[in-house]
A and B are shown apart, each in its own frame.
Chain A
Amino acid sequence: MAQKAIREYDAKSILAKHWDKYFPRFTYAYETVLVKNGPELREAAIDHPWLSTKTLVAKPDMLFGKRGKNGLVLFKDKAVGDVTLVKAANWIDSKTKEKQEVYFSFEGDTPVGNPSVDYLTHFIVEPFAPHTQEEEYYISATCVGDEDVLYMSAEGGMEVEEGWDEKVVEVAFPITATEAEIEEKIKANIPADVAQKDKAAFAQFAIGFFKAYRELNFAYLEINPFVMQGRKIELLDMVAKLDDTAGFMMVEEWGSVEYPTAFGMEEKSPEVLAIEDADAKTGASLKLTLLKPDARIWTMVAGGGASVVYADTIADLAGIEDLANYGEYSGGPTTGETKFYAETILDLMTRKKDLQGRDKILIIGGAIANFTDVAATFTGIILAFEEYADKMKEIGVKIYVRRGGPNYEKGLRDIKAAADRLGLWIDVYGPETHVTDIVRMAVEA
């Protein structure tokens, strides 16, 4: 996926790094730390003396919003704005001790749907910034269709989310818009509710914000709210996504930024991480997502489009509960890369027997390749069979193959011969069979 969410802390760090370029007339103190637990926060106070001298705000920094409504923003002990370092550290400790429930959606203050339950692992801690409601504003930018859209409001926080249509001004820009055009359009569209005396400053900030969004390759950037007190800016809450395909150009600009797994999502398994690592090192494509590791049907499908079609068909014909993984290999992977990919899947699918005692099903599918050498990739799969043949027989695996493309006759012949030699159950089909028909055969068998 090209657009990846980053932590609030990283978003602020990126803006702070380029602050003078985009916001030369404003100041931002960049007093913020990211910690995993209470002791880390106490230790951070050595390098960040303000943690001891100022009162604080603490909240989880794990890609989810609605932290206030989930009761996960610490800004008061006895009174608003009296949180000390000790209090913040203790609060963080109390929140990391056990799993927390987080609702992603609310109607009013009532949570909607089921909560995600997981451990809180990252917290962002900043000084408490006293300000009036009038000093709070909203700004965000993202791409809608083919255009970039800047959203601005004179009101920030909950207000704007609940009164979006009335309170937010949207301004759209084509990708080819010049800086002069952008400046002019923003100046002409400052929300009417921004006080007359603040309009010029707001416009300046918005222009810098939009420029940063464009030039730093953000896919989404939101500050809600930001506080403007004369020249002084506070970024109270930020949400950001980066276009990670721009990473190679942004090494300097972004610094070390991580793409965390969303709260409540299972952490990626070592196998998935290993495939991701291999994918990053090759010009080919290797993708793996574990859906239901105990399920019966495993897929090893070539091609981004074909893999989706197989997943669709398995969901249609067998049901979603039977599909163990989603993934694809494509773009002409080498024999070695395919071997590694196949071993990873064979390893995962032979860890446990099917709960109902049936044979497991391995779908080695693919459309008719344009340029991937089928025999070469199948050689990699055959090498993996040799490693895992015993385990596969012990668990019980039926293999269904369907593939076409360069050198497919040899590929199909080789894989059939190898399976027969190793005593594995296999059925092999070429382009004369409809691409997803092996799913029907496997399910009906």
Chain B
Amino acid sequence: MAQLFTRDTQAIFWNNNTTAIQRMLDYDYTIKRDKPSVAAIVAPTSSGKFEKFFYGPDEIMIPTFKTTAEAKEAQPQADVLLNFASFRTAYDVTMEALEIGGFSTIMITAEGIPERLARKMNATARASGVVVIGPATVGGIAPGAFKIANVGGTITNIVNSKLHRAGSCGLVTRSGGLFNELSNIISINADGIAEGVAIGGDRFVGSVFIDNLLRMESNPQVKYMLLLGEVGGIEEYKVIDAIKEGKITKPVIAWCIGTIAKYYDSGVQFGHAGASANAERETAEAKNRAMSEAGIYVPESFNDLPNKIKEVYESLNLAPIAEPEMNVVPTVRRSKQFICTISDDRGDEATYAGFPISSVALPSTGKGIGDVIALLWFKKQYPKWATDFIETVLKTVADHGPAVSGAHNAKVTARAGKSVVESLVTGLLTIGPRFGGAIDGAAQYFKYADDNGLSPKEFLAYMKNEGIPIPGIGHRIKSLKNPDLRVKGLMEYAAEYFPSTPLLDYARTVEALTTSKKENLILNVDGTIGILMVDMWRALGYAEEDIDEFISSGTLNAFFIVGRSIGFIGHILDEKRLEMPMYRHPMDDILYDVQMAQEI
């Protein structure tokens, strides 16, 4: 892997760190990336399904997930994990990601992960060929392609430091703050950086100087490299060895900070946890001297580093880098209060899920209300057998006479002189667990039983234990001998047009058992609709979780609401036509049992 990141690299961001994510997206917009660099967010405690961010002047939604596994499954192309978990959980998050696989780079920001855990995490990643950046780091950047989280700071500073496009220097530091500072120094004294990594300040970090420099050696964009080391450790000597062995041939500029440490004993900790010299060899002086002797360009002091960079850069006589066009991130942006993902009225003609209304509404299109529901409720084009089924359901549930509670309510309200809409809602308000709810309930419980492999007998026992009569089973008068023709019709339709009906097949076995106990415990029309809806979605390829979500969000009820509204409106118009007077319930139909209230 010559390059750590490309313009197509996408990351899964662990922890909903909105500021850092927004900075990444601002960067993406500035450099005109095709896709946002954050594909998913893992936020274990969040309840939503996405988080809104700005992409230039507009807003986009980035999906959120509770686990890394879910995020990776949904966004398998995202091969960078930005692990922003705390020092308590960062190890577990990394190990889980390594277990899941499919990540090429994992960046860990937490400082102070227990050393043994950090070592184990780094060793495991190395064995699986995964590049670890950190822990205790701000990250890294491939200018013009991909930027980790907060690297480079604000967008103004990024452009000032020429981090918006690839330059020629490969930069590796321990410190994150100085990484940023050096990017600036390099932009002033040379042509910017081609790739940069801050390896992190903890004693045990994943990728070390040599790993990054060897990669940069094979990256043709990198013409020379700059290494900023620190007192402590022996990592710089590995670089010296690589130069001596000819594995690194590009010019290297280097400086180790912490020359002050020689004046104090080890009791004073200068800088990062990793910065403590345990031997003469590990002091900043010794390392600076050794690097200089190995032919590395070492300045006199940190203050002299800019001159050294200029000197090496100018000696390479590189062609100037063309400045690419950039987008400008607006300074004032307003977050949108509402989101719409089903229809759009901004163009010439309003659309339903991308389809102009005329293209689905006119008779010549051959489309029906089932197609409109598929577009506006599910944002999908359903096949004809499914839209026909939806229409059949709507027609089937349109009315069930004046006596049911919803119709009765609507009639009473209409007779009180109220409008169509007022009368309609009083009818609709009765729809719920007791009225019309059997569709939802049947879908929910039969699916539960089927998903969990309950035999009909076990299912009955389960429902008895729950203390609920099985929704969708039983009819006032209909029985096996006197079948409900609506049910019969739906079942025949499904048998002919559905690719398969696994849940209905299961429900029939349950029905066989219930009717053996009592003649009228048949699968009724509500039950048949709910169950066939599940079979329809299964046949359309929806995942079980999606179907569970349709059920729990009340989508099945919605079919009943739409269908039955037709009937309610009929009853209301009927009352208006008949000019029926105000309704008063007869007193002899009420049992009065009123006691004198006692004083307490």
Stretch from A26-34, A366-374, A381-389 at the B interface:
A366-374
Given A1-B276, A243-B115, A313-B303: A367 in contact with B123 (beta carbons within 8 A): no
CB of B276 within 8 A of CB of A305, answer: no
The reply to whether B259 and A245 form a contact with Cβ atoms under 8 Å apart is no
Residues of A within 8 A of B231 (CB): 308
Q: Are B180 and A320 interface neighbours, CB within 8 A? A: no
Q: A311 vs B275: C-alpha distance in the bound complex, in angstroms?
A: 14
In whole angstroms, how far apart are the Cα atoms of A326 and B275 in the complex?
Answer: 14
- Bound-state CA distance A331–B123 (Å) is 27
Q: Which of A89-97, A187-195, A429-437 contacts B (4 or more CB under 8 A)?
A: A429-437
B176 at the interface (CB under 8 A from A): yes
CA distance A287 to B175 in the complex (A): 16
Q: How far is the CB of A10 from chain B (nearest CB, A)?
A: 19
Interface residue? A16 (CB, 8 A): no
Known contacts A406-B153, A437-B303, A305 near B230 by CB under 8 Å: yes
Contact of A405 among B116, B153, B204, B276 (CB under 8 A): B153
- Decide if A371 touches B123 in the complex (CB within 8 Å): no
Which chain A residues in 311-342 approach chain B with CB under 8 Å? Answer: 311-317, 320, 323, 326, 328, 330-331
| Contact B152–A248 (Cβ < 8 Å) | no
A86 interface residue (CB < 8 Å to B): no
A444 surroundings in chain B (CB, below 8 A): none
State whether A308 touches B185 (Cβ < 8 A).
no
Cross-chain contact B157 with A431 (CB below 8 angstroms): yes
Complex: how many Å from CA A126 to CA B302? 53
A269, chain B: closest CB distance, angstroms: 14
Q: How far is the CB of B172 from chain A (nearest CB, A)?
A: 13
- The residue on A at minimum CB distance from B274 is A2
How far apart are the CA atoms of A331 and B109 in the complex, in Å? 11
- Pairwise interchain contact B268-A289, C-beta atoms closer than 8 A: yes
Report A-chain residues with C-beta under 8 Å of the C-beta of B19.
371
Total cross-chain contacts (CB, 8 A)? 178
The verdict on A13 contacting chain B, using a C-beta distance below 8 Å, is: no
Given contacts A406-B154, A431-B160, contact A312 B302 (CB under 8 A): yes
Cα of A316 to Cα of B303 in the assembled complex, Å: 10
User: Is B115 a contact partner of A309 (Cβ separation < 8 A)?
Assistant: no
A249 within 8 A of B: yes
Quick one: closest B residue to A305, CB to CB? Answer: B175
Contacts of B123 in A (CB 8 A): 146, 174-176
The reply on A223 being an interface residue by CB < 8 A is: no
B88 at the interface (CB under 8 A from A): yes
Task: From the candidates A176, A285, A368, name the one contacting B157 in the complex (CB within 8 A).
Answer: A368
- Interface of chain A, helix or strand or loop or mixed? mixed
Which chain A positions have C-beta within 8 A of B301? 312-313, 316
Do A2 and B20 have beta carbons less than 8 Å apart? no
A291 to B263, CA, bound (A): 10
Contacts of B20 in A (CB 8 A): 371
Q: Which of B152, B184, B302 contacts A436 (CB 8 A)?
A: B302
Contact string against A for B residues 172-197, beta-carbon threshold 8 Å, 1 for contact and 0 otherwise: 01111111110011000000000000
Categorize the interface residue count of chain B.
35 or more
B115 touches A368 (CB 8 A): no
Q: How far is the CB of B342 from chain A (nearest CB, A)?
A: 37
Would you give the shortest CB distance from A164 to chain B, in whole angstroms?
A: 15
Given known contacts A143-B115, A437-B303, A176 and B124 CB-to-CB distance under 8 angstroms = yes
A1 adjacent to B269 (CB under 8 Å): yes
A322 nearest CB across to chain B (Å): 12
The residues of B that contact A1 with a CB separation of less than 8 Å are: 269, 273, 276
B273 engages A434 (CB within 8 Å): no
Partner of B257 from the list A176, A285, A308, A406 (CB cut-off 8 Å) is A308
Q: Are B260 and A315 neighbours in the complex by a CB distance under 8 Å?
A: yes
Shortest C-beta distance, B160 to chain A (Å), equals: 7
Contact with A along B256-279 (1 / 0, CB 8 A): 011110011001111111011000
Closest to A218 in B: B116
Q: Bound complex: CA of A335 vs CA of B74, how far in Å? A: 40
Interface string of A285-309 (1 = CB under 8 A from B): 1010101000000000011111111
CB atoms of B177 and A2 under 8 A apart = no
B178 is contacted by which of A214, A291, A305 (Cβ under 8 Å)?
A305
Using CB atoms and an 8 Å cutoff, list the residues of chain B in contact with chain A: 19-20, 23, 87-88, 111-117, 119-120, 122-124, 127, 138, 150-154, 157, 160-161, 173-181, 184-185, 201-204, 228, 230-231, 234, 257-260, 263-264, 267-273, 275-276, 284, 301-303, 306
Given A305-B177, A308-B275, 19 more pairs with CB closer than 8 A: A1-B276, A2-B202, A2-B203, A3-B203, A303-B175, A303-B177, A304-B175, A306-B175, A307-B271, A308-B258, A309-B257, A312-B284, A316-B259, A326-B268, A368-B181, A370-B151, A371-B138, A406-B157, A439-B303
6 nearest A-B pairs in the assembled complex, by CB-CB distance:
A305-B175, A303-B177, A246-B114, A367-B181, A305-B178, A371-B150
**A residues at B contact (CB < 8 Å):** 1-3, 143, 145-146, 174-176, 214, 217, 219, 243, 245-246, 248-249, 262, 265, 285, 287, 289, 291, 302-309, 311-317, 320, 323, 326, 328, 330-331, 366-371, 404-407, 431, 434-437, 439-440
- Show 30 residue pairs from A and B whose CB-CB distance is below 8 angstroms, ordered by the A residue: A1-B273, A2-B112, A2-B202, A146-B119, A175-B116, A245-B112, A303-B176, A305-B201, A305-B228, A305-B272, A306-B178, A308-B230, A308-B275, A312-B259, A312-B260, A312-B302, A317-B303, A320-B260, A323-B260, A331-B111, A367-B180, A368-B157, A369-B177, A370-B138, A371-B19, A371-B150, A371-B153, A405-B154, A434-B303, A435-B181
